[in-house]
Structure 1
Amino acid sequence: MVDTHGFSDTWQVTMKVSLGQRVLLILVVCASLWLVAEHGSRIAIYNIKNIMSSHGYLSEAKNVDSKVEKHGIRCVGAGAHTAEDLFCMEKPKYLPNFKNPCWYAKESGKFRLKCVPYYHILGVCKSGTTDLAYRIRAHEDVLRCRNCIMEKETFYWCRGRYGYEYNMKSMTPCNFSCFQDKFAEAAQRIEEISTEAGYHNMITGDATPSDFSDFRGWPKIPQNTGLKKPVVLTPHLMRHLYRDPKFILIFRNPTDRLYSDYMMQGGRSSAHFHKAVSEDIQVEENCMKNHTVEQCLYSLDIAKRLRTRIFLGCYSVFMREWLKVFPREQFLILRTEDHDQDPKAQLTKVFNYLNLNYTEESMFSIANMPHQRINQKKIRKGPILNKTRVLLDNFYSRYKKDLADILQDKRFLWLT
């Protein structure tokens, strides 16, 4: 409730000052009343300096309008402990004669071509994403990301933009300008090469499998400040900035995925894996007694208590978040088991989805390339224990059923 007596006193003070000062004070009071009405106890303090200096698409333009909602989400500006606010950036004017999403922006007095990925291999970890990325990059029209980890992963969307390293330790955040720079060499090549008709058909991509399910940085998204559960996640950010991104997912039986992931992370033996899994299931299920599934799976605090990344296998929870924002047709969804059994058939689907031309000869050559990133340690340590498989299959059963229902495909039950 507004204190009218206090407002009256304030007005009397303004009568003794200059006209300009009175006008300014009135504007401040009106703005304060609007903020209280609009945000209640959570008054948004817009950091104009941060907004105008954020590294968006048009670095020298001032096209920030905090009153305009982008997909129902407002620009609020970056705070002292949050990531830059991508909703304060205007979507670029993508060039129609470029297949890859690119635009020109003024930089150091010159117009330079900027690009973001044409496709994203979103996930999931330890499901063949490296092998798939390697085969896609073998196509003559696909450029690798020279400034990325293994020339394929940026880790921008899941961790870098929040100032987290791979192990979630703090580092200097990678802002959006930093993300663009990772594709600077690809952008130069895309600009140089064109067809006789003047169409630039080269593309590049990002294959960071953690982007699909690692939402642990959500408290650092400005729109989530002070909330107990997020209203904005990675899909919302991508929807605001991208044109029509192409997403590729490759799912693996979550039990097998976790065992492979554990061994890659330095696991000691199948017996130690069983002990770790038993404890982690207890941690997650205890959390879910008092919190939503999403709160438990997206929590950095809970993740720090886990000995495995068991949460990554709850595919349906994350899939629902993406489908809230993007239509189903923007996702090509594969299975690791099918990719291993018939890579040519799966790769044909991928190339068709990415609108890449190919011949039978080139497809045969790419499909028969050596498999990448085989987990030799898991082979040496032996198979998962049967009792561990039963335990994990039971834990993941509800999520597998949910995924099969979402995708209307029983293969994602992994019954055989």
Structure 2
Amino acid sequence: MFERTYVKTVHYTESVNQEPQVTKPICISKKNLSNVENLLCVEHPPFMPEYKNPCWRNVNGQLRCLPYFMLVGMDKSGSSDLFDRITKHPDILGNSGILGKETWWWSWMRYGFDLMKAVKIRNFEDYLNFFNNSTRVIDSPAKTDKDGFHFAIAGDGTPMDAWDFRGWTQIPQNNGLKEPKVLTPDLVYHVNKNVKLIIIMRDPIERLYSDYYFLDLAGKSSLAFHSSVVTSIAVLEKCLRAKSMLTCLSDRKNHLAWNKAARIHVGFYSEYIKQWLRVFPRGQILFLRTEDYSADIGSHMDQVFHFLGTRPLTSSEMTSYGIDLKVKKHVTKSKLKKGPMLEKTRALLSSLYDPYNRKLAEILKDDRFLWKDQRSKNCKLQGKVTC
């Protein structure tokens, strides 16, 4: 069990290439105006070196474990398929959340809401309980080598954690602020600073179209989708007249409006990636692109297992465990039955997202995240020489 204390944390400069500099403690004595735990004011015992996964024993001697890795984004970018393949590795475990993957805790349940409604507030102990079954396996003789080292690891695959910062106003360190200062990345770092992070991103235009049909939002046609996009953009533009982009993207009222129209806010990847790189070193985050992953699943899984430091699998093992299957899980079947996106909608979304794609490519120093290849592909499908 964590105990209340004042602890030091770290503050990162705006440059994503600079290392963190330790500054004054950010645990504050302001009155907590919500029922949400003040995670920056708690500290846990050191993790046990005989466990690869971050684990410790509480005052009752019970083994408690956090996830070794978090697959935090993005929605409708193939995260469910990826997490399913990752946890087919015999030494990698999931959790007892949705699909054995999503805990919904960091971005939703700790604040008392989910996508659309209020729910019971869940505390940190509730979060740890998602990993009870995994902890038992991690501690078992089957996952312990002859030297007593426990080599199995567990993961959390909640994609909303990457971008849904609506709960920022309930974080005590943000009391009285007009813009968020402490966000999910700060909290995750505080309790698990060495956690490995995986973020998979898809062309934001295609992601939005898939997401729209997946959630069965305002209509079931390309024309209804266009109308929903126009509505959602108007909500964002109105907000930006008075607030910063990050604040608008983290606004609860805006989320309610977008959740009933088109969730354009999820696609501004650079705004969210900046927040994760503000806190975590670049080498601690594996960035993947959905289009590349789909084209070559096998090599990407090798890359993921290497990143996680787990035992590499042979080709025959990848096949026997079902890791390199061609068929993908959780495909949005309703979208497959629909016609193509209207050209005017695609043009509108290109104008919306392209500046942020350029920022993302600059941050990651990788032009693949401009998604120019997808633009060319769509041009060819439309019978155009150029777009």
Give the alignment's TM-score, normalised by structure 1.
Answer: 0.82
1:75 and 1:190, CA in 2 relative to 1: closer, same or farther beyond 3 A?
Answer: farther
Measured after TM superposition, the shift of residue 73 of structure 1 is: 1.3
Task: Identify the residue that residue 259 of structure 1 maps to in structure 2.
Answer: 209
Q: Is 1:156 matched with 2:105?
A: yes
Distance (Å, rounded) in 2 between the aligned partners of 1:82 and 1:317: 28
1:414 to 342, 353, 371: 371
Measured after TM superposition, the shift of residue 77 of structure 1 is: 6.8
8 Å CA contact 2:107–2:184 kept in 1: the answer is yes
Distance (Å, rounded) in 2 between the aligned partners of 1:76 and 1:94: 27
Superposed CA deviations along residues 212-253 of structure 1, whole A, max 9, x for unmatched, are: 000011101111112111110001101110040100010100
Q: SS state of the match for residue 79, structure 1? A: coil
Distance (Å, rounded) in 2 between the aligned partners of 1:78 and 1:189: 40
Task: Identify the residue that residue 315 of structure 1 maps to in structure 2.
Answer: 269
Point out the structure with max Rg over C-alpha: 1
Distance (Å, rounded) in 1 between the aligned partners of 2:85 and 2:347: 34
Count of residues in correspondence between the two structures: 350
8 Å CA contact 2:79–2:159 kept in 1: the answer is yes
- The residue correspondences of 1:2-401 to structure 2 (distance < 5 A) are 57-58=1-2, 63-66=3-6, 68-71=7-10, 72-76=25-29, 79-106=32-59, 110-145=60-95, 147-167=96-116, 169-192=117-140, 193-267=143-217, 268-306=220-258, 307-357=261-311, 358-364=313-319, 365-368=322-325, 370-401=327-358
1:89 and 1:240, CA in 2 relative to 1: closer, same or farther beyond 3 A?
Answer: same
Q: SS state of the match for residue 367, structure 1? A: coil
Distance (Å, rounded) in 1 between the aligned partners of 2:302 and 2:31: 43
Distance (Å, rounded) in 2 between the aligned partners of 1:91 and 1:384: 50
8 Å CA contact 1:77–1:84 kept in 2: the answer is no
Distance (Å, rounded) in 1 between the aligned partners of 2:239 and 2:309: 44
Task: Identify the residue that residue 46 of structure 1 maps to in structure 2.
Answer: none
8 Å CA contact 1:249–1:332 kept in 2: the answer is yes
8 Å CA contact 1:120–1:208 kept in 2: the answer is yes
Measured after TM superposition, the shift of residue 382 of structure 1 is: 2.2
Task: Identify the residue that residue 18 of structure 1 maps to in structure 2.
Answer: none
Measured after TM superposition, the shift of residue 369 of structure 1 is: 5.3
Distance (Å, rounded) in 2 between the aligned partners of 1:70 and 1:138: 35
1:413 and 1:86, CA in 2 relative to 1: closer, same or farther beyond 3 A?
Answer: same
Distance (Å, rounded) in 2 between the aligned partners of 1:195 and 1:95: 16
Equivalent AA in structure 2 for residue 262 of structure 1: Y
Superposed CA deviations along residues 320-379 of structure 1, whole A, max 9, x for unmatched, are: 111111111011000000011111111111011011211121234411253100111001
8 Å CA contact 1:91–1:242 kept in 2: the answer is no
Superposed CA deviations along residues 119-151 of structure 1, whole A, max 9, x for unmatched, are: 000100000000000000110001221x20111
Superposition CA RMSD, Å: 1.4
8 Å CA contact 2:40–2:187 kept in 1: the answer is yes
Equivalent AA in structure 2 for residue 300 of structure 1: R
Equivalent AA in structure 1 for residue 314 of structure 2: T
1:388 and 1:180, CA in 2 relative to 1: closer, same or farther beyond 3 A?
Answer: same
Measured after TM superposition, the shift of residue 75 of structure 1 is: 3.9
Task: Identify the residue that residue 28 of structure 1 maps to in structure 2.
Answer: none
8 Å CA contact 2:166–2:252 kept in 1: the answer is yes
Give the alignment's TM-score, normalised by structure 2.
Answer: 0.87
Superposed CA deviations along residues 166-197 of structure 1, whole A, max 9, x for unmatched, are: 32x21211100000011011111111130111
- Tell which has more relative contact order, 1 or 2 (C-alpha 8 A, sep 6+): 2
Distance (Å, rounded) in 2 between the aligned partners of 1:78 and 1:342: 51
Distance (Å, rounded) in 2 between the aligned partners of 1:400 and 1:82: 37
Measured after TM superposition, the shift of residue 82 of structure 1 is: 4.2
Q: SS state of the match for residue 73, structure 1? A: coil
Equivalent AA in structure 1 for residue 297 of structure 2: P
8 Å CA contact 1:82–1:222 kept in 2: the answer is no
Equivalent AA in structure 1 for residue 273 of structure 2: M
Query: Structure 2 unaligned runs (5+)?
Result: 11-24, 374-387
Equivalent AA in structure 2 for residue 310 of structure 1: I
Equivalent AA in structure 1 for residue 221 of structure 2: S
8 Å CA contact 1:69–1:75 kept in 2: the answer is no
Distance (Å, rounded) in 2 between the aligned partners of 1:176 and 1:252: 31
Distance (Å, rounded) in 2 between the aligned partners of 1:64 and 1:153: 28
